[in-house]
Amino acid sequence: MVLMGDPGSGKTGSCVSLLGLDLNLRFLDMDNGLDSFKQFAFRDYPDKVGGVEYRTIRDQYKASALGPIVAGAPKAYLEASRMLLNWKYDDIDLGPPSEWGPKSVLIIDSSTLLGDAAFDWADPLTPRGRSSGETDKRATYGIAQGALYKTFKLVTDESFKTNVIVIAHVRYVDTETGRKGYPTALGEALSPKIGILFNSIALCQTAPGGKRTIQTATTAMIDLKNPKPFEMEPKYPLETGLADFFKVLLETPNAERRVQEKETRPNLVRAGRR
């Protein structure tokens, strides 16, 4: 799923409720922003924090005459890509995330900073002008967007047998039908395409009065979706919202449950009882 929201709307902290479902949470932390999650986790689920693993990956920056630039070669996007193939670093080895299974959740936090890392990675790869020696930033965006889109295709592929949450800020784009909000990725061209890959998109938002919720029903500016629209509530409290969302998706539908019960019910005629 994609979990969208403005800065400070509680996206990362809301993941704490998933510990109540005994799920293992694995953060690919590009934002270096797990402080609030940590506080809530130790307060609400101190006995389950052992199920949390995170890897913070950021390029280092330094000041220059042209403004902040990456110190040395940009490595964050490549390292994040390697982690998505095999979660191994230092003395930690959790194997391929695609094989973690339904009891684990890969959380990419966030698509915004992952996109920035992809741009920094693509910049040295962009051909430079013969006379000016400068790069065409449009070409850099093209390389980075193509790589980032493939990353999202990887984690949404059928072969990726693990729950995935991509945390994203909201990018508002002017369209033919009006102003719409999409998951922030890298540039306006890629943002509208991200949601196509995901079965679920939800929105963290703050209502008047300060009450924060996870919205599942489409709003006037942001299209949301989930695989069980008739069973999902239009909104949930932020504190329990993700767990509520997951429980609806994990619950066997009534019609399907009846079929399963019928298939497993003993055949009394065949057993000699009439």
What tens digit of pLDDT does each residue of 227-268 get? 999 999 999 999 999 999 999 998 755 545 444 445 545 444
Take residue 89 and report the two structure tokens written for it.
């670093």
Take residue 96 and report the two structure tokens written for it.
């391929």
For tokens 């990675």, what's the residue?
A: 121
* Chain center to CA of 135: 31
Q: Is the pLDDT score of 69 beyond 50? A: yes
Q: Is the pLDDT score of 217 beyond 90? A: yes
- Count CB atoms within 10 A of the CB of residue 12: 25
Tell me the average pLDDT of the chain.
87
Q: Residue 268's pLDDT is what? A: 40
The answer to whether the beta carbons of residues 168 and 4 sit under 8 Å apart is yes
Q: Residue 95's pLDDT is what? A: 97
Helix (H) or strand (E) holding 231: none
Who contacts 191 (Cβ-Cβ below 8 Å, separation ≥6)? Answer: 171, 173, 182, 183, 184, 185
Which range has the worst mean pLDDT, 77-91, 169-183, 235-249, 252-266? Answer: 252-266
Residue boundaries of the structural domains of the chain = 2-264
Residue 117 and residue 111: Cα distance in Å, rounded? 10
Coil, helix or strand at residue 204: strand
The answer to whether the beta carbons of residues 6 and 181 sit under 8 Å apart is no
Q: Residue 104's pLDDT is what? A: 96
Q: Is the pLDDT score of 133 beyond 90? A: no
Q: Residue 5's pLDDT is what? A: 94
**Confidence band for 274, pLDDT divided at 50, 70 and 90:** very low
Question: Taking the complete model, does pTM exceed 0.95, yes or no?
Answer: no
Q: Residue 273's pLDDT is what? A: 35
Instruction: Supply φ then ψ for residue 117, to 5 degrees.
Output: -65, -40
Task: Give the model confidence (pLDDT) of 262-272 as tens digits.
Answer: 554 544 443 43
Take residue 177 and report the two structure tokens written for it.
């039908």
**Confidence band for 39, pLDDT divided at 50, 70 and 90:** very high
Closest CA to 224 of 248, 193, 249, 203: 203
**Confidence band for 204, pLDDT divided at 50, 70 and 90:** very high
Q: Is the pLDDT score of 171 beyond 50? A: yes
The answer to whether the beta carbons of residues 184 and 123 sit under 8 Å apart is no
Residue 119 and residue 126: Cα distance in Å, rounded? 10
Please, what sign has the CA dihedral across residues 31, 34, 36, 37?
positive
